[in-house]
């Protein structure tokens, strides 16, 4: 019997799983790939578009260049999944049946119920989002002057917030634009929960780029002109970008599988199987069991690695073989601050934390490697100058 395997999402999780499934599956299954965009976005480099929107050509890879001709692609928005009927519902009213489903639809921005935030903040989850940030920063700079600079406030100092603030600084310095940049983090240090040496190295570079860092107090409210921080601080803004956290996508809230009650991310075993034996989940939309008490991190690195293993496990499930457990192995962190970068605990490099040209080259190399894996070396070579 031919099984129907359906993959949702064309991010790291979805694109990686398609490649793994195509490599492993014979004629025993048909593959259908569904995403609301018809390209793979290299989201972990998307902030580059803030300073240079033409980078979008390099960080979007058409799905047709990734999948094999035998895989059916449906360009559509998933609005629900019925696990009892084994169907996926799309926004155009159609449904797609599956025997095995892999959910890889990423996450959306969490606003934590902060008053005014959802209405007034820009977010960074799609290509349109980053292009909107570029336009907002450009327009604010045009209307500002040296005496009265425009103010960009970035809320949340994780991977995306730090790299966004660094990229706005790049925009400002390349164009000598009259901009003030503030990075606001509620916890006590930027890049919370990470190594203090790395936090210090990032802080040093952000401050060298004239990014004002405010830590230790949470954003409590936002209106059309101001961000209210802690009990008694307020920041006027022209552009507000919020990167303060992630939560699950709305389309999975009604799915009958075990999930986190508050953020709707799907619970998955280390085999990627959810509480429904026909449904697997990876990437930012999933909370994948790992040794210890923390799930796998919501990073591109983890999603891509998981995707390869998830594809193999779906093939094992189809063949009635035991599934293999996956453990995330951190290969290190490389974070850009504009054209500069900081690398930390990178495999096979003996220095724990460093910046400068080598870190910058590593960051470029990671993006190029990604593109080479997804679409071949030619694409990586074409993209190299703009990475
Ligand atoms: C600015 C920024 C910088 C980052 N930097 C790094 C970094 O340096 N290193 C790192 O490891 N990670 C980084 N990350 C995190 C990383 O990008 C995510 O962890 C990663 O994208 C997760 O992969 P994913 O496939 O689960 O989700 P995504 O890449 O978000 O892909 C989700 C896919 O699902 C599609 N989709 C969503 N909803 C629907 C729907 N309803 N119907 C159909 N399709 C849908 C989307 O269009 C997309 O194709 C960064 C993130 C940002 C925003």
Could you read off the pLDDT of 127-162 as tens digits, one per residue? 999 999 999 999 999 999 999 999 999 999 999 999
Q: What mean pLDDT comes out for the span 230-250?
A: 96
Phi first, then psi, for residue 281 (nearest 5°) are -145, 135
387: confidence class by pLDDT, cuts 50, 70, 90? confident
* Percentage of the residues of the chain whose pLDDT score is greater than 70: 100
pTM of the entire structure?
0.96
Distance CA 54, CA 87 (A): 38
Q: What average pLDDT does this structure show over 271-297?
A: 97
Dihedral class, residue 131 (left if φ above 0, else alpha if ψ from -120 to 50, else beta): alpha
CATH class label, 3-107+248-318: alpha beta
The whole-chain average pLDDT of the chain stands at 96
Q: How far is the CA of 372 from the centre of ligand 1 (A)?
A: 18
- Position 347 confidence tier, pLDDT thresholds 50, 70, 90: confident
Q: Which of 11, 6, 14, 16 is nearest to 72 (CA)?
A: 6
Mutate which of 106, 253, 366 for ligand 1? The one with the most ligand atoms within 8 Å of its CB, which is 106
Confidence of residue 349 (pLDDT cuts 50, 70, 90): confident
Model confidence at 300: pLDDT above 90? yes
Please state the rounded mean pLDDT for residues 20-44.
95
pLDDT at 242 over 80: yes
Check residue 1 and give its pLDDT: 75
- Ligand 1 midpoint to CA 149 (Å): 33
E-state strands within 274-358:
279-281, 286-288, 333-337, 340-344, 353-354
How high is the pLDDT of residue 26? Answer: 81
What is the CATH architecture assignment of 117-242?
Answer: 3-Layer(bba) Sandwich (3.50)
Q: Which of 44, 46, 108, 263 to mutate to test the pocket of ligand 1 (most atoms within 8 A of CB)?
A: 44
Cα gap 211→330, rounded to integer Å: 29
State which H helix or E strand residue 152 sits in. Answer: strand 150-155
pLDDT value of position 386: 85
Sign of CA dihedral 249, 254, 257, 263: positive
Residue pair 278/101 in contact by the 8 Å Cβ criterion: yes
CA dist 372 and 365 (Å) reads 10
Which tens digits make up the pLDDT trace of 51-106?
A: 999 999 999 999 999 999 999 999 999 999 999 999 999 999 999 999 999 999 99
The predicted model gives 202-224 an average pLDDT of: 97
Q: What are the residue ranges of CATH 3.50.50.60 in the chain? A: 3-107+248-318, 117-242
**Segment 230-253 mean pLDDT:** 96
Distance 2 CA to ligand 1 centre (A): 31
């Amino acid at each position: 019997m031919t099984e129907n395997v359906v993959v949702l999402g064309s991010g790291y999780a979805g694109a990686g799983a398609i490649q793994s499934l195509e490599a492993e599956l014979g004629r025993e299954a048909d593959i259908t790939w569904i995403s609301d965009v018809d390209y793979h976005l290299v989201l972990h480099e998307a902030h580059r578009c803030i300073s240079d929107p033409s980078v979008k050509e390099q960080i979007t890879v058409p799905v047709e260049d990734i999948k094999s001709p035998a895989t059916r692609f449906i360009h559509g928005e998933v609005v629900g999944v019925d696990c009892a009927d084994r169907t996926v519902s799309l926004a155009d009213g159609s449904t797609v049946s599956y025997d095995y489903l892999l959910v890889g639809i990423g996450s959306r921005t969490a606003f934590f119920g902060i008053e005014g935030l959802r209405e007034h903040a820009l977010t960074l989850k799609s290509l349109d989002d980053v292009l909107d940030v570029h336009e907002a920063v450009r327009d604010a700079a045009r209307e500002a002057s040296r005496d009265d600079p425009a103010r960009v406030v970035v809320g949340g100092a994780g991977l995306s917030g730090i790299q966004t603030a660094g990229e706005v600084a790049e925009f400002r310095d390349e164009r000598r634009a009259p901009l003030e940049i503030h990075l606001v983090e509620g916890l006590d240090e930027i890049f919370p929960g990470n190594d203090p040496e790395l936090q210090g190295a990032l802080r040093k570079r952000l401050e060298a780029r004239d990014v004002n860092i405010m830590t230790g107090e949470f954003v409590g409210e936002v209106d059309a002109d101001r961000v209210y921080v802690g009990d008694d601080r307020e920041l006027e803004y022209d552009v507000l970008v919020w990167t303060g956290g992630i939560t699950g996508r709305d389309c999975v809230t009604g799915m009958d599988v075990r999930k986190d009650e508050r953020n709707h991310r799907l619970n998955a075993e280390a085999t990627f199987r959810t509480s429904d034996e026909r449904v697997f989940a990876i990437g930012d939309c999933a909370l994948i069991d790992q040794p210890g008490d923390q799930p796998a991190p919501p990073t591109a690195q983890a999603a891509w690695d998981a995707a390869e293993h998830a594809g193999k496990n779906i093939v094992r499930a189809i063949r009635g073989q035991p599934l293999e457990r996956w453990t995330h192995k951190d290969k290190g962190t490389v974070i850009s601050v504009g054209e500069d970068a900081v690398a930390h605990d990178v495999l096979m490099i003996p220095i724990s934390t460093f910046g400068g040209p080598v870190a910058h080259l590593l960051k470029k190399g990671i993006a190029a490697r990604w593109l080479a894996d997804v679409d071949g070396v030619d694409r990586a070579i074409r993209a190299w100058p703009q990475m």
